[in-house]
Structure 1
């Protein structure tokens, strides 16, 4: 089942994001087969990062919650809010 993970960084936390970025990316790469799309959400000028958006295909919400809990960004306390919701792809039409 597909899920959207929406993570909003705490204010003024860019330094923490950059400090833990490589560990976060290693964690994501370890789950590459489950990640359909992912990346940082950007400031309006496109220069800074303010959160993360990831679409995953995992068996259930519990698996997604475990994936998030194991993320170095989450463990470092980067996020102000994390929202996980089931997702149904409509466009482009799935193969």
Structure 2
């Protein structure tokens, strides 16, 4: 079953994520085999990071909670809200190369 994890940053969370973005991307690479898709959520004007969404194809919500508990942004307390909903997958995920390109952008 797939689950959608929807996370919105607390005030200052978007800026606070930058020092741990590398750890976040490495974490997402570890979870890539069960990732349906993942994306940053942008502000209404598209200029600021506002949060993230991740869809995982896992056996149970317990696995989703394990993902959340260890995800670097979540562990750092960057989010005001985190919601989880069951999901029906309709499109395929991106490849590993997308995350590897983003990793190269990290300082």
**Which runs of 4 or more aligned residues in structure 1 lie more than 3 Å from their structure 2 counterparts after TM superposition?**
none
Matches within 5 A, 1:1-95: 1-89=1-89, 91=90
How far residue 14 of structure 1 moved from its aligned partner, in angstroms, is 2.0
Task: Map Cα deviations across residues 38-86 of structure 1 (whole Å, 9 max, x no partner).
Answer: 0110012212101001111011000010011110101111011111111
Q: How far apart, in 1, do the equivalents of 2:76 and 2:12 lie? A: 14
Q: In proportion to residue count, which structure has more helix?
A: 2
The answer to whether the 8 A contact 2:38-2:53 is kept is yes
Q: How far apart, in 1, do the equivalents of 2:64 and 2:30 lie? A: 14
- How many residue pairs get matched? 91
How far residue 21 of structure 1 moved from its aligned partner, in angstroms, is 1.1
Normalised TM-score (structure 2): 0.79
Q: How far apart, in 2, do the equivalents of 1:18 and 1:64 lie? A: 24
Q: How far apart, in 1, do the equivalents of 2:14 and 2:61 lie? A: 28
SS in 2 for 1:33: helix
Normalised TM-score (structure 1): 0.89
Q: How far apart, in 2, do the equivalents of 1:61 and 1:27 lie? A: 18
Structure 1: 5+ residue runs without aligned partners?
A: none
